[in-house]
Amino acid sequence: MLQQAFNGLVGGAFYALLALGLSVIFGMLRVVNFAHGSFYMLGAFGAYVLLDSLGLNFWVALVTVPLLLGAAGMLVERVFVRRLTRLDPLYGFLFTFGLALILQDAVKHRYGVQSQPYPRPSALSGSLDLGLFDYPAYQVFVLAVSLLTCAATWLILTRTRVGTIVRAATERPELTRALGIDVGRWVAPVFGFGVALAGLAGVLAAPMRAVNPLMGADLIITVFAVVVIGGLGSIFGSVTAGFAIGLITALGDLYVPALSQTLVFVVMAAVLLWRPAGLFGREEAAL
Amino acid sequence: MGAPATPPPVLTARSLVKDFRGFRAVDGVDLDVADGAVHALVGPNGAGKTTLFHLLTGFHRPTAGRIHVGGRDLTGKSPEQVARHGVARSFQTTSLFPQMTPREHLELALQAGTTLGWRFWRSDRALRRFTGRALDLLDQVGLAAHADEPAGALAYGRKRALELALALALDPRVLLLDEPTAGMGTEDLTRTIELIQRIRAGRTVVMVEHNMSVVAALADRVTVLQAGQVLVEGPYAEVRRDPRVISAYLGDAHAAH
């Protein structure tokens, strides 16, 4: 049971990283980034390609792939998303959805649909005695990286000047601009940051999960549910709901395996009925 | 109109037009706001007052016409550029950051004009250097005792006072107030009139206001808008007697008093 709970937290680590990126992007841009799952998949493929064709190991990938994807994300924001922000939000959905399909099919075209192998980094191949049970060192590492990243993001948002500006622009973009603050120049970096988080999650997933073009599409639906449960645009809500949903699905696997895939959506429906803005969302944030 | 011996205008709008998909919200408005004046914009709902505000502060780009502030052409500038050129505004609906305290609001506004710029890694402690000035401003609007409460929890009148303090934080040459007394009871109303009288010193105030007693108490000049056009412009005492105004707007307001 405890072991399964730990599995759940590790799964939650991925939900939390992805939901965090989605939330940061949504907060600042009011765009639901449907391509988020594809960026996660590209993160995993990035790690695979670095190893396979350049011989660069996991640790190199862990640093460079999120940076490269973050830069690509900024470019996507500058070239495409920015042009859509003045239009109906529907155009943002359509664009990111189309981008998701294009990225997914491009990778499928090049590498096929079969899963690519990616070895665990040798330093993390053993297992750790966590007192109650032994646990693979790699999974412990994933959990730690995710928690640290979420904590660091939280600190940036609450303890730095740019964090204050991003929070201000998230809550009241017009008022922030009326104060003479150039919100526009922070939009691309924030989008890039969210994409980089997805890339980081992808690199972390490569040694644990099958690296294939559909890995993002499979995961992202659950992540959307996580974001809705936590409250769209709520940073704290996304992370908390990410870990909670990880736990719930893992324990669901154990006790009601038939329901484990639907459990997330049952929780989502219940939360929406009870608190339409999500557990940590505010009604006005939806405006 | 040409009232003699008025100081030169600090804010001028010439032939301003704003179209929204075939609907002309502002239709050739000329506006001269004298330096140091309190200038009220009045008119029935849908007259184009708020659209005019959005044009003057860069939130809307005019379809045609030009805007100058202090001799500088601000036509088509972004809201943040307009703000940095000394034009601050408040919003019609209460607009604050509910999670932040009044002090944090002011620290944020005060740093906007500084060179902290891109150095995002600077701790938010860099903002603390503005604390003294922030507390001064809060004191001016009577909020010193509430400096560290979340803004969302403040009483309505205090929220509006904080909005004024925020606009003042930019030390604007021109202050645009969008219905500063909307939704206020008599007590808050009196306090707000006093407050505006105090903060107008050394600046120019343009305000959209529905309440004629507030206009009478504060405004040096009044521009009456109707259907996106200027109906009448002049001192309050003249404007209120103008038959066109009475039939269009003031008549109703007086009847209601």
Question: What is the domain extent for residue A14?
Answer: 2-115+132-286
Closest CA–CA distance from residue B117 to any residue of chain A (Å): 9
- The answer to whether residue A171 neighbours chain B at the CB level (below 8 Å) is yes
Q: Mutating which of B20, B93, B101, B108 best tests the A interface, going by the most A Cβ atoms within 10 A?
A: B108
Band of residue B128 on the pLDDT scale cut at 50, 70, 90: low
Alpha-carbon distance A262 to A258, whole Å? 9
Distance from CA of B124 to the nearest CA of A (A): 4
Inter-chain CB proximity A171 and B126 less than 8 Å: no
DSSP designation for A257 = G
| CATH number of the domain residue A170 falls in | 1.10.3470
Chain B residues in contact with A181 (beta carbon < 8 A) = 80, 108, 112
Q: How far apart are CA A205 and CA B92, in angstroms?
A: 49
B81: closest CA of chain A, how far (Å): 6
Q: Kindly state the tokens that stand for B225.
A: 């808008």
Contact A52, A257 (CB under 8 A): no
Q: Do B91 and A162 touch (CB under 8 A)?
A: no
Rounded to the nearest integer, the mean pLDDT of chain A is 87
Interface residue A164 vs chain B (CB under 8 A): yes
The answer, yes or no, to whether residue A204 has pLDDT greater than 90, is: yes
Contact residues on chain B for A164, CB-CB shorter than 8 A: 104, 108, 124, 127
Q: What is the secondary structure of B213-227 as a DSSP string?
A: HHHHHH-SEEEEEET
Examine residue A125 and state whether it is found in any structural domain, yes or no: no
**Nearest by Cα to A237 from A53, A26, A81, A44:** A26
A126 part of a folded domain: no
Question: Is the Cβ pair B123, A159 closer than 8 Å?
Answer: yes
Residue A157 with chain B: CB contacts under 8 Å: none
Nearest CB partner across the interface for B126, out of A161, A184, A282 = A161
Q: Which of A37-41, A128-132, A214-218, A268-272 has the highest mean pLDDT?
A: A37-41
Instruction: Return the H-helix or E-strand segment holding B31.
Output: strand B23-34
The residue written with tokens 């204050």 in the block is A164
Residues from chain A that touch B124, judged by Cβ atoms under 8 A, are: 158-161, 163-164
Comparing A112-121, A211-220, A275-284, which segment has the lowest mean pLDDT?
A275-284
- Calculate Rg over the CA atoms of chain A: 19
pLDDT at B62 over 90: yes
- Give me the residues of B, 77-106, that contact A with CB < 8 A: 78-80, 83-84, 88-89, 91, 95-100, 104
pLDDT per position as a tens digit, B186-244: 888 888 898 899 888 889 999 998 888 899 999 999 999 988 999 999 998 888 888 88
Indicate if the alpha-carbon torsion angle B142, B145, B150, B155 is positive or negative.
negative
Check whether A249 has a pLDDT greater than 70. Answer: yes
- Dig out the tokens for B206 from the structure: 């343009």
- What does the mean pLDDT of chain B come to? 84
Task: Report yes or no on A127 lying in a domain.
Answer: no
Residue A278 forms part of a structural domain: yes
Determine whether the interchain pair A161/B120 forms a contact, defined as Cβ–Cβ distance below 8 Å: yes
How far apart, in whole angstroms, are the C-alpha atoms of residue B187 and residue B160?
A: 13
Between strands B23-34 and B38-42, the pairing is: unpaired
State the greatest distance between any 2 C-alpha atoms of chain A, in Å, as a whole number.
Answer: 56
B-chain residues near A183 (CB < 8 A): 80
CA–CA distance from A17 to each of A118, A141, A152, B196 (Å)? 21, 14, 12, 48
Question: Nearest-CA neighbor of A66 among A201, A206, A200?
Answer: A200
Closest CA to B46 of B27, B65, B63, B30: B27
Confidence at residue B123, expressed as pLDDT on a 0 to 100 scale: 56
Yes or no: say if A25 and A31 are a contact pair by the CB < 8 Å rule: yes
Residues of A in contact with B78 (CB under 8 A): 177, 182, 184
Question: What is the nearest CA distance from A286 to chain B, expressed in angstroms?
Answer: 14
In order of start, what are the domains of chain B with their CATH numbers? Answer: 9-86+172-256 (3.40.50.300)
Contact at CB, A175 and B91, closer than 8 angstroms:
yes
Residue A206 lies in a domain: yes
Would A259 be classed as within a structural domain? yes
Binary contact (B120, A160; C-beta < 8 A): yes
Assigned token pair, A129: 């005695």
| Residue ranges in B40-185 assigned as alpha helix (H) | 49-56, 79-84, 102-111, 131-140, 156-169
Pair A71, A192: CB distance under 8 Å: yes
Q: Tell me if B97 and A168 make a contact (CB, 8 A cut-off).
A: yes
pLDDT at B5: 57
**Separation between Cα atoms, residue B194 and residue A56, nearest integer Å:** 70
Closest Cβ opposite residue B95 in set A159, A175, A180: A175
Residues present in chain B in total: 257
* Rounded CA separation A184/A196 (Å): 19
- The token pair that represents B226 in the structure block: 């109707």
Under the banding of pLDDT at 50, 70 and 90, the label for residue B7 is: low
Residue in B with minimal Cα distance to A159: B124
**Chain B partners of A152 at a C-beta cutoff of 8 Å?**
none
Q: Which residues of A touch B80 (CB under 8 A)?
A: 177-183
| Residue A261 pLDDT exceeds 80 | no
Q: Which of A24-28, A240-244, A273-277, B74-78 has the lowest mean pLDDT?
A: A273-277
ipTM: 0.75
Q: What is the pLDDT of residue A170?
A: 81
Give pLDDT, residue B114. 59
The reply to whether A123 falls in a domain is no
pLDDT number for residue A202: 94
Mean pLDDT value of segment B244-254: 64
Q: Please state, in angstroms and rounded to a whole number, the distance separating the CA atoms of residues B113 and B110.
A: 7
- Distance between CA atoms of residues B72 and B70, nearest Å: 6
Instruction: Provide the shortest C-alpha distance from residue B70 to chain A (in Å).
Output: 18
Helix (H) or strand (E) holding A243: helix A235-255
Q: Is the pLDDT of residue A85 over 90?
A: no
Let me know if residue A167 belongs to a domain.
yes
- State how many domains chain A has: 1
Residues of B with Cβ-Cβ distance to A172 under 8 angstroms: 95-97
Q: What are phi and psi of B245, to 5 degrees?
A: -70, -40
| Helix, strand or coil, per DSSP, at residue A113 | coil
B235 vs B253 pLDDT, higher one: B235
